[in-house]
Amino acid sequence: MKQLVNAFLAIMITAFALMYLGSWMNSREGYSGGNTLTIYNWGDYVDPDLLKEFEKETGLTVIYQTFDSNEAMLTKVEQGGTTFDVVIPSDYAIAKMKEENLLIPLDHSKVPNLKNIDARFMDLSFDPGNKYSVPYFWGTVGIIFNPDMTQGMDFTSWDSLWDSRLKNNIFLVDGAREVMGMALNSLHYSVNDRDEGHLQEALTKLNRLSPNVKAIVGDEIKMLLANEEAAVGIVWSGDASEIMDENDKLDYVVPEEGSNKWFDNMVIPRTADNVDGAHKFINFMLRPDVAAKNAEYVGYSTPNIPALELLPKETSEDTRFYPPAEITDRLEVYDNLGKRMLAHYNELFLKFKMNKK
Ligand code: N2P
């Protein structure tokens, strides 16, 4: 009988211990991710109403933080101080994060809406099989210009930017790869050139552009150009489309020497707390109505076929922002240059910025 009582007691104690552990884990989960979803995205890159809609549908609370360059995002994720559940980096940054083992493979069974993505944007070299990332927006880098302020100038070549008529009249996007890439392209080199002589030539050429550069700016570039604070800007295509919504005088071209085409994809960092919620968010953003609303709000180009069909024809048929494959084929994606070379690009860009001041 005593043995039976002891056994009973042992079972009860174990059961209580398990219950306690379970509730402790639940509350910990609630605290550290079970009920929240932390998203790290570019600035001005989501319709805030959609975040509310997602919260309503899932009961999760979204914590939202932004970055303004892949380099800033990489530094933060590499440091690991904050844990993010979903991050939206570009192609070469995704390759770098994969290499550094910072991402977890996605569970495609939890992302059925992936079927909505145009095959053209799947299985790209920075992430074969979309093992770690799914498309969010895509686009190009080009020149936005105001015909009223540029006396009939033609911007089909990057070299037009060095024209002395553009003195103090250009805004540059604050991106090391974008600005270095533009200078390299203007010299007919690749945006991924690693040759030190070519890189120094690019810096020298950039320094010669300084008199024409009014400022190197972040997201405020849209407001400044729409308000005609300068005649010309080097921008991402989506920003150009947003600016042109505000001020339809402006036009956008991708110069003939070549340029960058980029892809911003959603990923889940290895340190994510809420992996299930992260998959839910990714799948939500791929829903046609959601992707269309988001594209309309931020002005960037969606890779989502049924979403594109929901957009006004003047958007979906605008080849400046939805260039066909014949055009994008001649553009380059930024390569993952590796730690040292990427740092070198950043350093050269910084030298140009310092020299300008
Ligand atoms: C949005 C920035 C988009 C970045 N503000 C393009 N890769």
Q: What is the pLDDT along the chain (357 residues), one digit of tens a residue?
A: 556 556 555 555 555 554 544 444 443 333 445 799 999 999 999 999 999 999 999 999 999 999 999 999 999 999 998 899 999 999 999 999 999 999 999 999 999 999 999 999 999 999 999 999 999 999 999 999 999 999 999 999 999 999 999 999 999 999 999 999 999 999 999 999 999 999 999 999 999 999 999 999 999 999 999 999 999 999 999 999 999 999 999 999 999 999 999 999 999 999 999 999 999 999 999 999 999 999 999 999 999 999 999 999 999 999 999 999 999 999 999 999 999 999 999 999 999 999 887
Cα of 165 from ligand 1 centre, angstroms: 29
Residues 254 and 335 in one domain: yes
Q: Are 214 and 117 in contact (CB under 8 A)?
A: no
Residues 351 and 227 in one domain: yes
Cα of 13 from ligand 1 centre, angstroms: 56
β partners of residue 192: none
Q: Are 139 and 301 in contact (CB under 8 A)?
A: yes
Cα of 112 from ligand 1 centre, angstroms: 26
Q: Which residues have CB under 8 Å from 260's CB, separation 6+?
A: 140, 141, 177, 178, 181, 191, 331, 332, 333, 334
Residues 46 and 59 in one domain: yes
Q: Which domain holds residue 205?
A: 139-261+329-356
Cα dihedral 333, 339, 343, 344 in deg (nearest 10):
-80
- 251 CB under 6 A from ligand 1? no
Residues 148 and 247 in one domain: yes
Cα of 153 from ligand 1 centre, angstroms: 27
Residue closest via CA to ligand 1's atom 3 equals: 42
Residue closest via CA to ligand 1's atom 6 equals: 236
Residues 129 and 270 in one domain: yes
Probe ligand 1: pick from 40, 41, 45, max atoms within 8 Å of CB? 45
- 273 CB under 6 A from ligand 1? no
Q: Which atom from ligand 1 is nearest to the alpha carbon of 236?
A: 6
- Give me the number of domains the chain comprises: 2
Please choose, from the candidates 124, 120, 51, the residue with its C-alpha nearest in 3D space to the C-alpha of residue 91: 124
Q: Which residue, chain included where needed, has tokens 């048929």?
A: 317
- 218 CB under 6 A from ligand 1? no
Residues 346 and 288 in one domain: no
Q: Which residues have CB under 8 Å from 357's CB, separation 6+?
A: none
Q: For residues 199 and 344, give the distance between their C-alpha atoms in angstroms, rounded to a whole number.
A: 9
Residues 126 and 254 in one domain: no
Residues 214 and 196 in one domain: yes
Q: For residues 21 and 35, give the distance between their C-alpha atoms in angstroms, rounded to a whole number.
A: 19
Residues 124 and 17 in one domain: yes
What are residue 337's phi and psi, to 5 degrees? -80, -10
Q: Which atom from ligand 1 is nearest to the alpha carbon of 44?
A: 5
The CA distances from residue 16 to 4, 7, 12, 21, 22, in Å, are 18, 14, 6, 8, 10
Q: Which atom from ligand 1 is nearest to the alpha carbon of 90?
A: 7
- 54 CB under 6 A from ligand 1? no
- Sign, Cα dihedral of 231, 236, 239, 241: positive
What are residue 215's phi and psi, to 5 degrees? -165, 160
- 92 CB under 6 A from ligand 1? no
- 90 CB under 6 A from ligand 1? yes
Residues 85 and 174 in one domain: no
* DSSP strands (E only) in the chain: 36-42, 61-67, 86-87, 133-145, 170-173, 213-217, 232-236, 251-253, 261-267
Residues 134 and 151 in one domain: no
Cα of 45 from ligand 1 centre, angstroms: 7
Q: What is the CATH number of the domain that holds 76?
A: 3.40.190.10
To the question of pTM greater than 0.75 for the whole model, the response is: yes
Q: For residues 75 and 13, give the distance between their C-alpha atoms in angstroms, rounded to a whole number.
A: 47
Probe ligand 1: pick from 66, 239, 261, 297, max atoms within 8 Å of CB? 239
Cα of 19 from ligand 1 centre, angstroms: 47
Residues 116 and 39 in one domain: yes
Q: What is the pLDDT of residue 30?
A: 37
